[in-house]
Structure 1
């Protein structure tokens, strides 16, 4: 998976990065299946980095989209990600991730903004690595590739939070993430080429 940076002040740039990560998922035959995408209620794509020596944390940023009743996808909402945990782990981990979410988990993480608790295992060395999350993590499937040197497992909490400033800059006014994801916001002209490219590729994944 291509490790793309989401630490940008433009939501349109995050759309470009999200597209590259999704393309990498498809090209490498990763764990997310066509059926998973067809049944998804939401999709979050983000980049994260962190360090651990017994206890540690991660910070990341990306975007989230929701599927509407007619099968099309919402506009993107910018999000930030944090993880704090403890356990026998050591190293530095940098990874890009795609989560395909069921309705209940999507509502919990991105509408109600509830922290999720669970256990995660990670192992990374050089350009290859894996990261697995279990017990309470909000996913149907998750595709992840890590870089760095990192081994061990931790128990902790992951939290996704809407980036209000980035959303306001893209949509031209202050908006709530739930408004964006429920289709209550008018489509902006600026940045729509990047959004449409993302929509087109999501449609391709389901064919």
Structure 2
């Protein structure tokens, strides 16, 4: 059988010598040599009347869209913003057979690597490499002088006019040009002479130039590879006296968590009965450390930030991921307190829960605080899109508060904080906690505090 015949399927008619190609019956003759398979009914044959795809569309129009509130609001927004004017409905988009999802051996579903891996050319910064001269000019670039807003009234890439609400002006931090939001969605670390350690907005053209160099810049100028400047957590430093509930950066969260662990070691040394049981802390698969403010009567409100870390198979600790917590409590309670939480993740299911973008916790606990030192004990169940698990919460609190309550909390990953710290927009919480990210140099005070904690447990 020839290649052409293999492409054909047996006819659904009673004639066994007929085949179907796109619902067209083609007779088969063993004495005839058929050409290689090709698209028979192309645009050239439309003029002969053999097959007209556009007439077929007119005779079989697609079903009308469903009328609901979502579609109506979407249409109104499209009319106001003018997006419907740019749409081209004459040619239907070709079907895609790209698989964006993959499945791991354990059944977990994750985004295929081709989706979030930059399609950059291979980087070779050796003096003899082919890419060295091309990238050297980018790495040694000087900060530009930004153009004035009055320099142009249209985007310098798509030529769309600027508007106050739907299409504002944005300067590219690398070239200084003026672009709309659509043409400057990328975030990249800039060369060392720009003196910027956070990823900055750049236009699409500059993004293509900077994208291949992000691996080099992440390992040289990002906040994660810098030496921690604030590493004094004793009483000689005013910031060591009291942890604030909201941290503005990962460096602040690292300092707060180091201070919490140091204070916990002091409390455990003075009064061992208030410490976390050694068996619990030794078997922990991860730790979440937060500082939370809580206040109210009968109905209490809680808000705070912190970080989470996971224990690797070799006993070392992963890189930290920033989190924020907000919640409500109901019960026989009154007052206000500032709590330093240590949440013990005692299994891998609990660690996967913190890998979620957002998860919920529900539990019960008792709290008592009078003056500078108090005690809070809680056990809660946490559930997110990556799984669920049990956690145990221990804390020291400061303030005037007493009560027994039912607690509900929402814990979310602070993606912007992680981005500003690591400088990698493709980095996920799973990458950070499950060990694919190296331990950042900026978190050395935190790792030192953990080593002191575990060294005291072995004594």
TM-score (norm 1): 0.85
Q: Is this contact kept in 2: 1:3–1:96, CA < 8 A?
A: no
1:130 is the counterpart of 2:366? no
Q: Against the structure 1 CA distance between its residues 34 and 122, is the aligned structure 2 distance closer, same or farther, given a 3 Å change threshold?
A: closer
Q: Against the structure 1 CA distance between its residues 34 and 118, is the aligned structure 2 distance closer, same or farther, given a 3 Å change threshold?
A: closer
Regions of 4+ moved over 4 Å: 186-189
Q: Is this contact kept in 2: 1:3–1:21, CA < 8 A?
A: no
**Per-residue Cα deviation, 1:176-195 (whole angstroms, up to 9, x for no partner):** 21111012235555x25445
**Which blocks of at least 5 consecutive residues in structure 2 are unaligned?**
1-240, 269-273, 383-389
**Which residue number corresponds to residue 66 of structure 1?**
310
Q: Comparing 37-46 with 113-122, which one deviates more in the overlay?
A: 113-122
The structural deviation recorded for 1:152 is 1.6
**Which residue number corresponds to residue 7 of structure 1?**
246
CA radius of gyration, larger in: 2
Identify the structure with bigger relative contact order (alpha carbons < 8 Å, sequence gap 6+): 1
C-alpha separation in 2, matches of 1:125 and 1:195: 28
**Per-residue Cα deviation, 1:157-207 (whole angstroms, up to 9, x for no partner):** 122211111111110122221111012235555x25445434544553554
1:23 is the counterpart of 2:262? yes
The structural deviation recorded for 1:20 is 1.9
1:185 is the counterpart of 2:430? no
Structure with more strand by fraction:
1
1:95 is the counterpart of 2:344? no
Q: Is this contact kept in 2: 1:3–1:47, CA < 8 A?
A: no
Which of the numbers 390, 395, 399 marks the counterpart of 1:144? 395
Aligned length: 204
**Which residue number corresponds to residue 161 of structure 1?**
412
TM-score (norm 2): 0.41
The structural deviation recorded for 1:61 is 0.6
1:115 aligned counterpart, secondary structure: strand
**Which blocks of at least 5 consecutive residues in structure 1 are unaligned?**
none
